Amino acid sequence: AQKKATIEINPEQGTQKISKHIYGHFAEHLGSCIYGGLWVGENSDIPNTKGYRTDVLGALKNLQIPNLRWPGGCFADEYHWTDGIGPKENRPKMVNNNWGGTIEDNSFGTHEFLNLCELLGCEPYISGNVGSGTVEELAKWVEYMTSDGDSPMANLRRKNGRDKAWKVKFLGVGNESWGCGGSMEPAYYADLYRRYSTYCRNYDDNKLFKIASGASDYDYDWTETLMKKIGNKMDGVSLHYYTVKGWDGSKGSATKFSKDDYYWTLGKCLEIEDVVKKHIAIMDKYDAKKKIGLMVDEWGTWWDVEPGTNPGHLFQQNTLRDAFVAALTLNVFNKYGDRIQMANIAQVVNVLQSMILTKGKQMVLTPTYYVFDMYKVHQDATYLPLTLSCDTMKLEKNRAVPMLSASASKDAKGAIHITIANPDIDNAEEVEINIPSLKAAKVTGRILTSKEVDDYNEFGAPEKVQPKEFKDAKITKQGLKVKMPAKSIVVLEII
């Protein structure tokens, strides 16, 4: 069957920017995200560039990733950066207590991470240890990375082979401090934030953007307390929201699910809009000028690990369903760009809702990767508000899934980009897009879809779900007419 929907866009109405940092990523010392995923070492027989996997580097460069958060996650609050500098043979090992008890040899440390960011052309986002580290330790890490003077930590860095300081903008002061980052009460964390952040200095012309460890999902009290107590001392506050069934018991298979599971997933993922609106309303009370950013620095799907893999390594497959979670969520983030200044999907390689999966020499780009590829046109573009009218599927717990999701932006060259998702498994949708004063010459597009919503790319068959050219958008007198097949995600460019 074919349904109808309409979208109204006024290209002259855009006032706010979609920060490119909404398209950010996250790399934790967890499973094979770092070792085997990003880093194989220079002596590996897997093709590498200075130790970084060449295939993964190329794939991430293509995505134009704006920032990369590291070293965790929960790992960050047990990480001691001095263990990861200097000659590799002298670096002490540690137990990765959060993630399967794996032995971490610290061969990937500060230099390896910051050099990777330089290769990728992205901003590093350092997550500092507040849970088990000292104020002095974090203060010295900042000095080590960013001081160019004749300072003790800058000289230690020089001794370790790096003359010029790196630029580090984003600094997280703790992670999930209510949980794995120290099991703190919000008021206690707020005091610690004051103390730790005081000693994280701006060296030379490096200017830190300090991010407080924020709430989980529906914990509005955490945000309220932080805004009240440290609102004048932070540049951003984080928020974590996973599309997950719950924290006890099975989270469901990444690849074997029913139609009901599919719509439940989309309903849960879309609930993020209500959650961010409530956190934003609290922030607005204390910061009407919207100076402080809401940084959704962990989000995405969380399923059971793939059978036979280490339960502590969070390795999961990624289907067209995950691609919808990415598409729908990014359309929400784009809309709140006046407050949401950053978001980091968890995680970049081999962990949770990854962009990339690797196995030995093989690499697979996931359906989620392709959503980020299609949506990269929104990075730093002007957001164009739109109104959308379509059918909505009602689900339990007051959740609902509108049968269309969209966002639009205008880039520096004047090109308009529209990303549209039709999550309906069974029905195509004819979409009328009204764009007053459109003087378009040409519309082109790409589409991501597949036969089934549980289709995925696997080692040996890496090309099952891939974007293709989209030809079903036509210019009309009012704007555009677009035929969206069932379960499809489309990006359009109008020039």
Calpha distance 298→344 (Å, rounded): 5
- CB 30, min distance to ligand AHR, A: 6
Closest to 437 in 3D by CA, of 413, 416, 412: 416
- CB 302, min distance to ligand AHR, A: 8
- CB 346, min distance to ligand AHR, A: 4
Q: Which residue's CB is nearer to ligand AHR, number 129 or number 146?
A: 129
- CB 242, min distance to ligand AHR, A: 7
Rg (CA), the chain: 22
- CB 252, min distance to ligand AHR, A: 17
Q: Which residue's CB is nearer to ligand AHR, number 59 or number 74?
A: 74
Q: Which residue's CB is nearer to ligand AHR, number 251 or number 410?
A: 251
H/E run at residue 186 = helix 186-198
Closest to 206 in 3D by CA, of 249, 288, 275, 151: 151
Q: Which residue's CB is nearer to ligand AHR, number 70 or number 144?
A: 70
Calpha distance 364→24 (Å, rounded): 20
- CB 28, min distance to ligand AHR, A: 5
Active site residue 176: yes
N-term to C-term CA, the chain: 31
Residue with tokens 């929201």: 241
- Residues forming contacts to ligand AHR in the complex (CB under 6 A) are 28, 72-74, 175-176, 298, 346-347, 352
Catalytic hit among 78, 104, 298, 429 = 298
Which residues lie across from 47 on neighbouring strands? none
- CB 312, min distance to ligand AHR, A: 11
Q: Which residue's CB is nearer to ligand AHR, number 28 or number 322?
A: 28
CB environment 200-233: b (16+ within 10 A), e (fewer): beebeebebbbbbbbbeeebeebbbbbbebbbeb
Residue nearest to ligand AHR (CB): 73
Both structure tokens of 494: 């109008």
User: Is residue 295 classed as helix, strand or coil in its secondary structure?
Assistant: strand
Active site residue 469: no
CB environment 74-104: b (16+ within 10 A), e (fewer): bbbbbbebbbbbbeeeebeebebebbeebeb
Q: Which residue's CB is nearer to ligand AHR, number 276 or number 486?
A: 276
- CB 100, min distance to ligand AHR, A: 12
Q: Are strands 428-434 and 2-9 parallel, antiparallel or unpaired?
A: parallel
Q: Which residue's CB is nearer to ligand AHR, number 346 or number 384?
A: 346
Mention every residue, 6+ apart, whose C-beta is less than 8 A from residue 487: 320, 324, 422, 423, 424, 425, 449, 450, 453
**Sequence-ordered strand ranges (E) for 259-404:** 293-301, 340-345, 356-359, 362-365, 382-384, 386-389, 392-394, 400-402
Q: What is the DSSP letter of 92?
A: P
Q: Which residue's CB is nearer to ligand AHR, number 269 or number 421?
A: 269
Catalytic hit among 176, 224, 306, 452 = 176
H/E run at residue 190 = helix 186-198
Calpha distance 160→24 (Å, rounded): 29
Both structure tokens of 90: 């002298």
Catalytic center residues: 176, 298
